[in-house]
Amino acid sequence: MSTHELYTGPVPRETWNVPLAGDARFTWEYDDGREKLLGLYQKGKDKQWDAAKRIDWSLEVDPADPLGLPDQANAIYGTKYWERMNDKERGEMRLHLTSWQFSQFLHGEQGAMITGARIVETVPDMDAKFYSATQTMDEARHVELFGRFLQDKLQLVYPINDNLQALLKDTLGDGRWDMPYLGMQVLIEGLALAAFGLVRDMTTKELPRQLLTYVMQDEARHVAFGRLALRDAYKDLTAAERKEREDFVIEGCYLMRDRFQAKEVWANFGIPADDAERLVQESEYMNMFRSLLFSRIVPCVKDIGLWSERIQSAYDDMGVLDFSKQDLEALMANDEDLADKLDRERFAAEETERREEVASVIADAAL
């Protein structure tokens, strides 16, 4: 079935064409590069996996409760809009909210795939080209699995959110080689990683837990890649160059903060825009969710050296400045460990059964 038949509203069938600026950069230096980046490249090769095989796609998904989150997580819970709904309508809303969120994950991952390929073209160093090539494959896998989840399991897809689309356009349309790193690796990937983690840790449903846990194992490497590359490059910025990048980060963070208001969902359920915005702003859960989305971005921005009073003031205004104290290395190590742990849990029974089968064959042969 065409994805266009599953969208909640009309979506143009022609491609969205973002004009690209800047040069494709060749380098004739093929010798060893930075040890840490080459280590990430090796890990990227070692950690490739098949979304069709690693994910248990036989798991059923309840359309009326795809994530198994408490209803208190819904911004309109307890309001007149919630009270007037029957059980079926509440189930429909859960489906739409999940579809909206995972649709933005899907569209963002396509943006990451295209940006990864763009970085291969524009970055001047071979070690970074090597790693970004592996990331492009990672992102293709993420597009594959989020698309399959939406099309096969939810059978409902939302168009790309305006704020995400604006940030992707700015990221891809800038001719400077470092801007795709800053827009995608730091802002979009950093926010996605936090969003994935929040849903991964809260869902009570196995299939979305698998999807997000395994995707996050990849994304932890991607954020590390952006940090390593930009930390080196930003040591020598002029004052004017630094201000341009800080402006980009500040504007991008406000766009990302406003991305998760799900305005399109509330409109589909007849909730006036002003009421919906107010309820989202007043929702304790939504405020917590939007705040925690910056748990990966803020320490990363600090780490790459964009930490002026202007940046700190913007983060203070958003209420996320304290995230600068987060141990980003520990967070990402935990993301990788959880994926390995999930594999051990899922495949332990299968391994035991295989060992018993081998032992039985050996015993039979000895008779």
Neighbours of 163 (CB within 10 A): 19
Supply the pLDDT for residue 185.
84
Whole-angstrom distance, CA of residue 305 vs CA of residue 32: 26
Whole-angstrom distance, CA of residue 135 vs CA of residue 84: 46
Per DSSP, 324 falls in state G
**Measuring CA to CA, which residue among 118, 96, 107 is closest to residue 142?**
107
Whole-angstrom distance, CA of residue 30 vs CA of residue 100: 44
Collect all residues with Cβ–Cβ distance below 8 Å to 362 and sequence separation of at least 6. Answer: none
Tokens of 68: 């198994």
Whole-angstrom distance, CA of residue 157 vs CA of residue 151: 7
Q: Is 2 left (phi over 0), alpha (psi -120 to 50) or beta?
A: beta
Supply the pLDDT for residue 14.
92
What is the pTM for the complete model shown?
0.88
Per DSSP, 13 falls in state S
DSSP secondary structure letters along 212-256 = HHHHHHHHHHHHHHHHHHHHHHGGG--HHHHHHHHHHHHHHHHHH
pLDDT in tens, the chain (367 residues): 799 999 998 899 999 998 887 788 888 888 777 888 888 889 889 999 999 999 999 999 999 999 999 999 999 999 999 999 999 999 999 999 999 999 999 999 999 999 999 989 988 888 889 989 999 999 999 999 999 999 999 999 999 999 889 888 888 888 888 888 898 888 888 888 888 999 999 999 999 999 999 999 998 888 888 888 888 889 889 999 999 999 999 998 988 877 778 899 999 999 999 999 899 888 888 888 877 888 889 999 999 999 999 999 999 999 899 999 988 889 888 988 999 999 999 888 666 666 767 666 676 666 6
First-to-last alpha carbon distance for the chain, in angstroms, is 55
Whole-angstrom distance, CA of residue 229 vs CA of residue 178: 9
Supply the pLDDT for residue 199.
93
Neighbours of 331 (CB within 10 A): 17
Supply the pLDDT for residue 60.
95
Q: Could you give phi then psi for residue 7, rounded to 5 degrees? A: -65, 150
Neighbours of 281 (CB within 10 A): 12
Under 8 Å between Cβ of 171 and 111 = yes
Whole-angstrom distance, CA of residue 338 vs CA of residue 209: 11
Supply the pLDDT for residue 36.
80
Whole-angstrom distance, CA of residue 328 vs CA of residue 280: 28
Supply the pLDDT for residue 350.
67
Whole-angstrom distance, CA of residue 33 vs CA of residue 42: 13
Whole-angstrom distance, CA of residue 53 vs CA of residue 68: 24
Collect all residues with Cβ–Cβ distance below 8 Å to 287 and sequence separation of at least 6. Answer: 281
Strand partners, 157: 7
